[in-house]
C-alpha cells in the first residue's frame, strides 16, 4: 500500500470523517500515553475517584497541569492537523473525532464545532457540579502563588481540567455526535491511533459495518488492519501534506 493508494481513496470520498489518536500529535512533540517513554510510563494516572476523594490527589493533578508535566498543552499544530483543516475547507471533511485532549485541531483552524472530543480537553477546566467553564490562566496564579486548589466561582464545586479521567464516564453528547458522523460518512480515516482503547475504537468497526471505506494511517500496524480497505504505515504529516494540497 502506498500514498498513491491513500490519495485515490480520499479523492473518491465525498463525506470523510477523521478519527485521530496520539500519533497525529506526537509529530508536534506531545507524548503519547502507553508506549515506552509515554505519559503513563512516567507517571501513574490519577483516577476520577481519586481526584474527587482526595485533596492530595487534587493538588497533585493541578501541579501536573500547571507545570506541564504531562506535556499535553503548549505545542503547535503540525502538518497533519493543517492538512485536515484544508480537507474541511474543501468541503469533504465533515468532522474529526479525536481521542486527543491537546486542542491542536482547533488551533490549526478547524472550526471547534467540527471537532468531537471523546476524552475531553486539557486547555481549560470545568466545574464537576455545575459545568461552568474555567480558563486555566485564571486558576494558575492562586494555585502556584498561594496553593489554592481551584473551586468553582459560581457554585463552589470542585474544578477539574476538562480531560476525561480514568473512571470517569464518557461524555454522552460527544459519543452521540461521533456515532451520527460515523454512520453518515462514506470514508472513515483513522490517523495515529492504536485502536486499542474502547469504546472509542468501536467507531471504525461501526463505519465499516455500515458500508464506509475504512482507511488506517499509522506508524505501526493496528489490530484492525485486517478489516481495513487500506492500511498504510507512514508518517501522518508528510503523507497527508503530499496528498491534500
Q: Which residues are catalytic?
A: 119
Q: Is 185 annotated as a binding residue?
A: no
CA dihedral in degrees (146, 152, 153, 155; nearest 10)?
-140
Residue 152 annotated as binding site: yes
Which residues make up each annotated binding site?
127, 130, 152, 155
Which residues make up each annotated binding site for Zn(2+)?
127, 130, 152, 155
Amino acid at each position: 500500500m502506498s500514498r498513491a493508494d491513500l490519495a485515490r481513496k480520499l479523492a473518491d470520498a465525498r463525506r470523510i470523517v477523521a478519527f485521530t489518536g496520539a500519533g497525529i500529535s506526537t509529530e508536534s512533540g506531545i507524548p503519547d500515553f502507553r508506549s515506552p517513554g509515554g505519559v503513563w510510563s512516567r507517571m501513574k494516572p490519577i483516577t476520577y475517584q481519586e481526584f474527587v476523594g482526595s485533596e492530595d490527589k487534587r493538588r497533585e493533578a493541578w501541579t501536573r497541569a500547571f507545570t506541564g508535566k504531562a506535556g499535553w498543552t503548549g505545542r503547535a499544530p503540525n502538518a497533519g492537523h493543517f492538512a485536515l483543516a484544508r480537507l474541511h475547507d474543501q468541503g469533504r471533511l465533515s468532522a474529526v473525532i479525536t481521542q486527543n485532549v491537546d486542542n491542536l485541531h482547533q488551533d490549526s483552524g478547524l472550526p471547534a464545532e467540527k471537532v468531537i472530543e471523546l476524552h475531553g480537553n486539557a486547555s481549560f477546566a470545568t466545574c464537576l457540579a455545575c459545568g461552568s467553564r474555567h480558563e486555566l490562566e485564571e486558576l494558575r496564579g492562586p494555585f502556584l502563588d498561594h496553593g489554592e486548589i481551584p473551586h468553582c466561582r459560581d457554585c463552589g464545586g470542585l474544578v477539574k481540567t476538562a480531560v476525561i479521567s480514568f473512571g470517569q464516564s464518557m461524555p454522552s453528547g460527544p459519543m452521540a455526535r461521533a456515532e451520527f458522523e460515523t454512520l453518515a460518512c462514506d470514508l472513515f480515516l483513522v490517523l495515529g491511533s492504536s485502536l486499542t482503547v474502547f469504546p472509542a475504537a468501536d467507531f471504525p468497526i461501526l463505519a465499516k459495518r455500515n458500508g464506509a471505506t475504512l482507511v488506517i494511517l499509522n506508524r505501526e500496524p493496528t489490530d484492525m488492519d485486517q478489516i481495513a480497505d487500506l492500511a498504510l504505515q507512514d508518517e501522518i504529516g508528510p503523507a497527508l501534506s503530499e496528498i491534500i494540497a
